[in-house]
Amino acid sequence: MSMSPWQVMHSLTRDGSVAETKLPPGTARRVLSYARPMRGIIAAFLVLVVVDALFVVAAPLLLARLVDHGVIPGDRSVVTVLAALVAVIAVLDAVVTIISRWYSARIGEGLIYDLRSEVFSHVVRQPIAFYTRAQTGALVSRVNNDVIGAQQAFTSVLSNVVGNLVSLTLILAAMIVLSWKLTLAALLLVPFFLLPARWMGRRLAALSHEQMNLNAEMGTRMTERFNVGGALLVKLFGDLDREDREYAARAARVRDIGIKIAMNRTVLFVALSFIASLATAMVYGFGGLMAIDKTLTVGTLIALAALLARLYGPLTTLSNVRVDIMTALVSFTRVFEILDLVPAIRERADAQPLPSGAVAVDVDHVSFAYPGADEVSLRSLEAGATGDRARGAVVLDDITFQAAPGEFIALVGPSGAGKTTITNLLARLYDPTAGAVRLQGIDLRDATLASITASVGVVTQESHLFHDTIRANLLYARPDADEADMTAALRAAQILPLIESLPQGLDTVVGDRGYRLSGGEKQRVAIARLLLKGPGLLVLDEATAHLDSESELAVQRALDTALHGRTAIVIAHRLSTIRRADQILVVDEGRIVERGRHHELLERGGLYADLYRTQFLDDAAVAT
């Protein structure tokens, strides 16, 4: 299996420092477990690799006999037969190469599919705390780059180790049989081939690593500037000339290091070609003298020269095989690091579904502290992960309340009191550190995750929409909904006239995070999505807090429709919302300090009365 100088150079320029990496125990065995389902395909691939190696040696040996027994004696039949045989071998080699490439692609792409699917499935099941800490770019890199790196290294090791080992053995054996003296002389040049190449290879590996980091920095900068939020920040606060200068400076560093890499690669390529040419000249020189002295045939000389051209590639690759193997294992290890992160929120084996319909809520002596970083995330996925990674301070302390089916509970209190944290527990985005959250009498830790998702609907201050059509965003909540269902939900959400006025209607693309819609329009689309889902418990986290009066009124009407016949837990913002509540819970510093109806709490003259005078009455005055 011959290799070009460029292929040899690629093998030599891998980052050699990876060979010193300490791997977790059992990594190799775990990697092989991914190969086990494909063992039949792998076996066939390896057989083809061996056959290809045999063809590599067979062609020069046949050419030697063609020259010695056909051309020199003038035997036309030998020339014809052997030339035809060489041609047949060339055809067979081409067929074997195509088939082996298919097997290699099947193995590699199959591995990518298995790993990528497993990583994606595992990541989407991580708790929300994982996403609040992980850097998105690093996470995507694991799913893409490291998975592909593992696949490439795996298939490379699989083919290179076996193929080059067989090729090297057969080539050396054939050369020794043909002329052990010339073979020994050729091997004496190997150090002059390997040592400078490895030195230059380490230099290239360092430069390539720096280039990758610089490109990653540029990619991160472009990602931050090119999304809607980043572009808006640049427009409002940025200096475009400064942005140009800073980006140009980074691009210049990438340019300069690219020139260095190109020149170093050229020097390495020239050096490898020079040593190979010297070896060829030596074989032809000494072999030619031996042929003149009749101690070596001309055909044997030609065969040795051809085999020599195929010798250095496998030899160089095998000398670097430890780095290749470790590169594969390290890539797998980075993927396994994600797969080994146990989700903090997971479904028990005996979990039961929540009954459908209006939901009864029971929050029973709940306390909560946000999980520590090491419980939910990985240092390698966090930008600048330093400091204390232990569990945080207590955010909720002994929270207890109940809501009967169809009842309306309002949560009020100063910013940072813990209101949103309570709603997060109701959707099981987190589990309480003490006490229990029950829906329909079932502890959420004993309920199936799918039934929780179906039973609890949440509308936040800024509802997220995917960069897709309105139809796709609606169907995300209920894939089996038909046109009539979506129309009814949009009408109830007070947004149907707008959707019908759009040129593409439901097939209008809303843009990244829904930025093509106003805040009120986006909220109403989100409410339509919620109505389409039809949950029994509705959780509203100040869904109208940042809207203008007109949009707020439209969204509130949509929410009134959504609240009808459902249990509701609402972080209150509007005065009318508070007055209509069956029970108001006043939260302060993680505790419920007051509870009751609107008039009862006003008469009590506590924190609620203060909030009412300073916040809610002011809001009402602004609205009027």
User: What b/e string do you get for 185-200 counting C-beta neighbours within 10 Å, with b at 16 or more?
Assistant: bbeebbeebbebbbeb
pLDDT at 7 over 80: no
The burial of 586, by beta-carbon neighbours within 10 Å (0-12 exposed, 13-18 middle, 19 or more buried), is given as buried
The predicted pLDDT at position 1 comes to 44
Q: Token digits for 154? A: 């795996």
Mean pLDDT of 486-494: 87
Average pLDDT, the chain: 81
| Confidence bin at 94 (pLDDT 50/70/90) | very high
What is the 3-state secondary structure of 484-506?
HHHHHHHHHCCCHHHHHHCCCHH
205-219, 432-446, 479-493, range with the lowest pLDDT = 205-219
pLDDT in tens, 317-352: 676 666 667 767 777 887 888 888 888 888 999 999
pLDDT at 237 over 80: no
pLDDT at 367 over 90: yes
| Confidence bin at 20 (pLDDT 50/70/90) | low
- Using DSSP's 3-state secondary structure scheme, residue 586 falls into strand
Please tell me the CATH code under which domain 5-339 is placed: 1.20.1560.10
pLDDT at 442 over 90: yes
175-189, 338-352, 503-517, range with the lowest pLDDT = 503-517
Q: How long a stretch of residues is the chain?
A: 624
Q: Are strands 394-403 and 361-369 parallel, antiparallel or unpaired?
A: antiparallel
CATH class for the region spanning 361-375+391-623: alpha beta
CATH code 3.40.50.300 region(s) in the chain: 361-375+391-623
pLDDT in tens, 21-66: 566 777 778 887 877 888 888 889 889 988 988 888 898 989 888 9
| Confidence bin at 5 (pLDDT 50/70/90) | very low
CATH code 1.20.1560.10 region(s) in the chain: 5-339
The predicted pLDDT at position 512 comes to 58
pLDDT in tens, 588-602: 999 999 999 988 999
Of 554, 477, 491, 471, nearest in space to 519 by CA: 554
- HSE of 377 in the Cβ direction (CA atoms, 13 Å)? 25
The predicted pLDDT at position 99 comes to 93
pTM reported for the whole predicted model? 0.72
The predicted pLDDT at position 2 comes to 46
Q: Are strands 456-459 and 537-541 parallel, antiparallel or unpaired?
A: parallel
Through-space distance between the first and last CA atoms of the chain, rounded to whole angstroms: 83
